[in-house]
Structure formats: structure tokens, C-alpha cells
Amino acid sequence: MKPLRIGTRSSALALWQAHWVQNALSEIGLTSELVTIHSSGDTNLVQPLYEIGVVGVFTKELDQALLQNEVDLCVHSMKDVPTQLPAGIVTGFVPERGHAGDVFVFQNKDWKRLPQRTIATSSLRRQAQWLFAYKNDHVVPLRGNIQTRIDKIKANNWDGAIFAQAGLERLSTNPTIYTPIDWMIPAPAQGAIMVTTRAEETKLLEKIKPLSHLPTQGCVQAERDFLRALQGGCSAPIGAHANVQNNRISFVGSVTATDGSRHIEIRESYDRQDPDIGKQAAEVLVRNGGEQVLDKLKRHD
């Protein structure tokens, strides 16, 4: 059998994730090789993602390579994947996720005592939630791979920047430079890896299916259903996190005005087998004032 071709972006984090998948495949007897593909999200590092306005800015080129049979599998950070996969592409497996939360990478150990800070992030969700918590702070855009972003904090003398904890941990970034932001609600499916393939690859799908971690798969599905029900894209200021507790799913969801002026948050509990968790949670959020925030966001698009 020819080795499976794994499509991946070329950043250090993407390659770490692709190598991890490669190891998982080898454990079930499947050999593979990596094929690096440049995505438009990695090429344009000036504009914030929400300004680029392309659906699947980090996944589009990988999807094309998959559909054109140039690769057999693609590895994605799941939070970058649109909730609607292209026709002909399906989920192969979702391994156990890493930390779902966000962390603050700081320049100054006394950052909490500063009356006003300059914080870097190109995520509307992180910007919105941070400004809700710290009204006087100033947020500047920050793009690039993890090391580039860390270097930019120092070069610009900013007080800090917000990152996904899983990414820093996967690249063994020095944990003394960051602190968890316990109150920040992460992006739907943050910390999870998603492996996709063509729908027609039924034999391959059957082989790789056991590599899925079912609790993770159920949680990220609920989070993505929540995002989809709210008609929010990957860059919308919508947060969601689900986790399994005693055969129930504990779900927290949020939407925040980009200037931090309003933040609507819900906390619900559902039966783990319920197929409509995300949809129901979205309805609760809308009823609790989320609709006004979402309407305002859509008018500003």
C-alpha cells in the first residue's frame, strides 16, 4: 500500500499536529507522509482575519488539495474549520483535545497593576471579552505564527497578547511567560484537532474511525452546532465550551460586543445523548439578550 498523503499547513504548530496524526496512524498500521500546503490565511499576515472575509481562510487550499486527490487526509485546528464542510469532504476522526482555554502572554509581571495596558490579538472574540473585563485597555491587531507573535510583543513593547493554551503547550513554549485566563470563554472547538478525508474513502474511514475520542467529538460537535445556529463564522466574537460531567454535558456559551460594551453568557446542562445541545444552547442565548448583540454585529459586518 502506498503511504497516505497528509495535507498540512506549514506553520510549526500545524506540523506538530500533522506529526501527531502521523504517529496515531502508524499505531494502527498505516504509513503516511506529510504534504505541506500554503493557505491564504498564512500568506496575508497584515489584515486581521475578520477583515479578510474569506470562509475557511486556513482550510480552503487544503480542501481543494483533498478534492483534487493530491492528498488523502487533511489535519486542521478544528476552531479554524467552517461549521459546514465542503461537499465531498467528511470528518475522519477527532482525537482527544488539549486545553481548550486561552492564556495571556505577558511582558511585564506587574501587568495587573497597570491602569491601562496595550494588548495584542486579532481575534474579535478575545478582543471583545478582554475589553468587557478591562474597559480602559487598548487592543492592537497581531497576526503570524506563535513564535512570530511572541517576538512581536517584545519588539513593540506591548504589555501582552492572548493565545490558545493548547498551541503554546504543543510547541513547548516556556510556561513562565503566560498565565491562564480562566474567565475567558474559548472559541468553539478550540484545542481540538480535526482530520478530514473524502466522503468516498469508505475503507479508510472505517480504519481511522477508532482514533476518535468520543467525549471530545460530542463536546466539539455541540460547540460547533451552537456557532452554526447563531450564524457566526470562525471569526465571530462567540465563545463556547462543553465538557462531560457524570454523563451530562455542561455547556457555557457567550456572545460579546466587539467594543466590550455587552457580554451575554449562558451556562446550561444537557443529557450527553441529546443530539441538539448546541441548537438548544443557542436558543437560550438568543432569549437572554444575545439577539440584540448578534443583530448589532451583523449590521457592522
Rounded to the nearest 5°, which phi and psi values hold at 245?
A: -140, 115
56 lies in the same domain as 197? yes
**Residues 87, 196: one domain?**
yes
* pLDDT score recorded for residue 108: 82
Specify whether 170 is located in the same domain as 197: no
Residue 266 domain-assigned (yes or no): yes
222 belongs to a structural domain: no
pLDDT value, residue 53:
46
pTM of this structure: 0.92
The residues with which 241 forms a beta bridge, in sequence order, are 252
In a domain, 241, yes or no: yes
Question: Which residue carries 498564512 as its cell?
Answer: 42
Whether residues 68 and 108 share a domain: the answer is no
Is there a single domain that holds both residue 264 and residue 134? no
Q: Which amino acid appears at position 17 of this protein?
A: Q
Domain that holds residue 21: 4-95+192-212
**pLDDT tens profile 205-260:** 999 999 999 999 999 999 999 999 998 766 789 999 999 998 899 999 999 999 99
Q: Are residues 90 and 17 in the same domain?
A: yes
pLDDT of 228: 94
Distance CA 162, CA 168 (A): 11
Number of domains in the chain: 3
Active site residues: 80
In a domain, 170, yes or no: yes
Report pLDDT digits (tens) over 181-190.
999 999 999 9
Q: What is the mean pLDDT of each run of 10 residues along the chain (301 residues)?
A: 94 96 98 89 49 61 95 96 93 97 92 94 95 96 88 92 96 91 97 98 97 97 96 83 95 96 97 96 96 84 56
With respect to residue 221, please indicate whether it lies within any of the assigned structural domains: no
289 within some domain: yes
Residue 278, domain CATH: 3.30.160.40
